[in-house]
Amino acid sequence: MSEQLERISAALELREPDRVPTFDVMEEYANIYDVLGKRPTPLGFLVTNRYAAAVFDVAMPVLNRMGFLDSEMDRFSYDRTAAAVKMGYDGAWVMHVPIWRFRDSRIAEDIYGRYYDIVVDDRGNIATPIYKGGLIASPDDWKALDKRPILRLPERANRVFAKIQKDLGDRIAVFASFLYGLFENTWQMMGFERYAVALRKEREFLKRVIKFYEDHYCLMIEAWADAGVPCAVYSDDMAYRSGPMVNPRVMDELFGDSFRRITETAHAHGMKIVVHTDGMVYPLLPWFADCGFDGVHALEPTAGVKLAEVKEMVGDRLCLLGNLDITHILVDAAKEEVFEAVRDSIMQAGRGGGYILAPTNSHPDMSVQRLRWMLEAVREYGRYPLEL
């Protein structure tokens, strides 16, 4: 076992490693290629330039059939892992998301039945599309959805993660992940208003959809495990900054058994699995522990989440990951502020183990220099026994 995986495993098992582990969540082209010293060609002009966009619109059906975007995602997942290794992280949340198809230069669709706005970041890169709505309005629409691309995901994930693990797995603990979780896949395909109606009047339909994605998620875990990946992130945003999007009792009724099967499948293969959701998660934390997750990520400070309170609530049941602010601390803060934020997080959650320091999410405005300061601060303040 590598020292990085040993460190991560100890924290996920609520033990003290030699120091507080670090976890990379970076998913932005510009930052990743900055770390790797590469100069990617910004492709945003294909969207923003009307002449290029007109050509793009004509070419897109051909590129979709060729699997152009899928191949780009394969390469990107490898490169983002290599960047995490170069930065010196202990673990990395590696998204592999070959799910999008461009309808034209303005709209993307995914294989789950959603559509998105195509957006360009301030450095000219095409960024992660922004969800706009669902294409599934009825049980008949769900029945008609071509599910073959969804069913091909495990095979592709196995191939991509096997290469990542073979080439880089001895230098970083890989946390495999993909989009989306069961809650997001269920409501986003129809939009939240339609979903609210289905909660009241079409529970059996929702249960069929949830069961499909439960089975699919377990197949993905099997594919990751067969590739040798040691950890997974179950990503499924379930909360606003004000609290859970749906009553926790209803969430357990709909998703509890599925979540328990997902975590049991991971554990049966010797994998650790953590749950990610943004927002105010206090009401959900005991449920996450009951469902068998090993840890919880984000713990978003801008949603009012305080590490010390989470440690008190579930620190004996869940490893805590995250809490580093991505609106100021890792964007434009002075070095002293970054160091102080890292020290404060370790002080609140690091004692006794069970804490992995990480940004709360990925964001295009995050500064690579401040991420390096964050890692430097962990090396200074994070050695056990802690002396803070």
Q: Which amino acid is at 98?
A: P
Q: How far apart are CA 172 and CA 31, in angstroms?
A: 19
- Write out the chain's pLDDT in tens, 388 residues: 899 999 999 999 999 999 999 999 999 888 998 999 987 667 777 778 887 778 777 887 777 777 777 888 999 999 999 999 999 999 999 999 999 988 888 899 999 999 999 888 777 777 788 999 999 989 999 999 999 999 999 999 999 999 999 999 999 999 999 999 999 999 999 999 999 999 999 999 999 999 999 999 999 999 999 999 999 999 999 999 999 999 999 999 999 999 999 999 999 999 999 999 999 999 999 999 999 999 999 999 999 999 999 999 999 999 999 999 999 999 999 999 999 999 999 999 999 999 999 999 998 889 999 999 999 999 999 999 998 6
Which domains does the chain carry?
Answer: 3-39+67-98+146-381 (3.20.20.210)
Q: How far apart are CA 238 and CA 248, in angstroms?
A: 10
Q: How far apart are CA 33 and CA 20, in angstroms?
A: 27
pLDDT at 125: 77
Both tokens of 53, joined, read 């966009």
- Which residues are paired to 235 by β-bridges? 276
- pTM of the full structure: 0.96
Q: How many CA within 13 A on the CB side of residue 313?
A: 18
Contact 333, 370 (CB under 8 A): yes
C-alpha distances in Å from residue 295, one per residue of 8, 22, 275, 288, 386: 11, 14, 6, 8, 21
Both tokens of 328, joined, read 């100021």
Cα angle: 74, vertex 267, 238; to 5 degrees: 65
Q: Which amino acid is at 106?
A: R
Determine the 3-state secondary structure of 347 from DSSP. Answer: helix
C-alpha distances in Å from residue 89, one per residue of 45, 193, 322: 33, 41, 13
pLDDT at 290: 98
Distance of CA 43 to the CA centre of its chain: 24
Both tokens of 188, joined, read 């986003």
Determine the 3-state secondary structure of 114 from DSSP. Answer: strand
Determine the 3-state secondary structure of 236 from DSSP. Answer: coil
Alpha helices in the chain (DSSP H): 3-12, 29-36, 45-48, 50-66, 68-87, 139-144, 148-151, 153-168, 182-188, 192-201, 203-226, 248-251, 257-268, 285-290, 307-314, 335-349, 368-381
Contact 9, 272 (CB under 8 A): yes
Both tokens of 30, joined, read 């510009």
pLDDT at 65: 77
pLDDT at 263: 98
Contact 233, 176 (CB under 8 A): yes
pLDDT at 388: 66
CA dihedral (124, 130, 132, 137) in degrees, to 10, reads 120
Both tokens of 82, joined, read 């290599």
pLDDT at 56: 78
Contact 26, 84 (CB under 8 A): yes
Both tokens of 155, joined, read 């095979």
Q: How far apart are CA 273 and CA 13, in angstroms?
A: 11
Q: How far apart are CA 36 and CA 127, in angstroms?
A: 18
Q: How far apart are CA 297 and CA 15, in angstroms?
A: 17
